[in-house]
Structure 1
């Protein structure tokens, strides 16, 4: 992973998978979104599952961020800036899989961006490891089958960098996060549901309540957040 201080531009520009809004552009899985769960801010319950090896410990900081998280640096993954944090994760990277996120709203936020971009941009078949380890929910198998049909040999120069976020709801088990990607005048907005399972945040897939991407001319209601200036 290249640092933004010394970027090594990627020549590879794969089709942007519609696995989540931050990279939605063209593919047929655009309609395959996940159910939304509501929740309120709450501290993790006692006796929660122990984190997996390499994960960060749970943090008492359950405050939903209303400004850009400070303890974040941006690094390039396949030409896209993704967030990293010593406090909130990821704490471990194995191939395309970045795991180990703090049990906090910011941990869930960073996990949502990391998982989505890695599903979309992982080279060759490395997306499979991301999907198998970091996607959950009743429609996981269907989702993976759709991803397997994607022709990743196509190219598209329109890699959409993340531009902002809004945490719709958060509790100890579920975070509902809206992300905006793109640029001024045309931001693509959509929703990711993250579930805390087996000691880490995972992308939850369910067609119980379909959602479609929308386009916004600005970032009203969102916290501006991007690694690209």
Structure 2
């Protein structure tokens, strides 16, 4: 995956993703099955069938009229940090269960609006992009993934490929799910402009650390996940030697 530098790629585990120790240990990232290896499912003859025709629920961003500031109606965030890259986490961070994992939520940086599985309204700042990159993809393993995709993934060929691949994978909701053995430990803002950002996510599990990256784009007055050309929402999951260089959540 091009998102990592050449030196970082050396730490990636080889072999099918479902046999990689770091992937198996990261229950929070069950949604990665959607984007890192669904080709195995698709080529095994398990088609999407009628699941591809399932209706998309109307979400809070459907047909939303933006105001003069370009934000959807009712969306308010603290954007006073501007483009400054965060070196610490917001003091108002709280942790909420989402699917089978826990995600950080900030009353100032977002998400500040919640409707079903669509958690939205992120600050137009680097911290807002970090929270969007953490929260939105975590929703993709549950049964409401279509609505989240429609509302919070940038439209285009990448999204269409993601939707096609995702229909071949069973939904994994919180009921009866594997106990969480990993958690979000920290982040790096790899790149940022007012219109796009790439965020590295640090995951802590029983074996140590793993990392992945998520790209987001400012679209329709909020941050949305930008899939890659193959429909992936994450870059290849890789082992990480330490937390040096990351801003830690402190949990």
Q: Please state which band the TM-score falls in when normalised by the shorter chain.
A: 0.7 to 0.9
Tell me which residue corresponds to 1:6: none
Tell me which residue corresponds to 1:212: 236
- Counterpart check, 1:144 vs 2:163: yes
Distance in 1 between residues matched to 2:189 and 2:30, nearest whole Å: 19
- Counterpart check, 1:95 vs 2:108: no
Distance in 1 between residues matched to 2:190 and 2:130, nearest whole Å: 11
**Aligned CA distance change for structure 1 residues 167 and 26 (closer, same or farther; 3 Å):** closer
Tell me which residue corresponds to 1:60: 80
**Aligned CA distance change for structure 1 residues 28 and 97 (closer, same or farther; 3 Å):** closer
Q: Render the CA deviation track for 1:84-115: whole Å, top value 9, x for unaligned.
A: 11211112111100011110111111111110
**Aligned CA distance change for structure 1 residues 108 and 52 (closer, same or farther; 3 Å):** same
Tell me which residue corresponds to 1:196: 218
Task: Name the structure with the higher helix share.
Answer: 2
Give the count of matched residue pairs. 193
Gaps of 5+ in 2: 1-17, 39-67
Distance in 2 between residues matched to 1:155 and 1:184, nearest whole Å: 18
- Counterpart check, 1:127 vs 2:145: yes
Point out the structure with max Rg over C-alpha.
2
Calculate the TM-score normalised by the size of structure 1.
0.73
Calculate the TM-score normalised by the size of structure 2.
0.67
**Aligned CA distance change for structure 1 residues 128 and 25 (closer, same or farther; 3 Å):** closer
The alignment partner of 1:59 has SS state of coil
Are the aligned partners of 1:49 and 1:198 in contact in 2 as well (CA < 8 Å)? no
Are the aligned partners of 1:101 and 1:200 in contact in 2 as well (CA < 8 Å)? yes
- Counterpart check, 1:105 vs 2:129: no
The alignment partner of 1:27 has SS state of helix
Q: Which moved more, 1:22-31 or 1:128-137?
A: 22-31
Q: Which moved more, 1:134-143 or 1:145-154?
A: 145-154
**Aligned CA distance change for structure 1 residues 25 and 200 (closer, same or farther; 3 Å):** closer
CA offset at residue 209 of structure 1? 11
Distance in 2 between residues matched to 1:69 and 1:184, nearest whole Å: 27
**Aligned CA distance change for structure 1 residues 99 and 84 (closer, same or farther; 3 Å):** same
Distance in 1 between residues matched to 2:151 and 2:92, nearest whole Å: 26
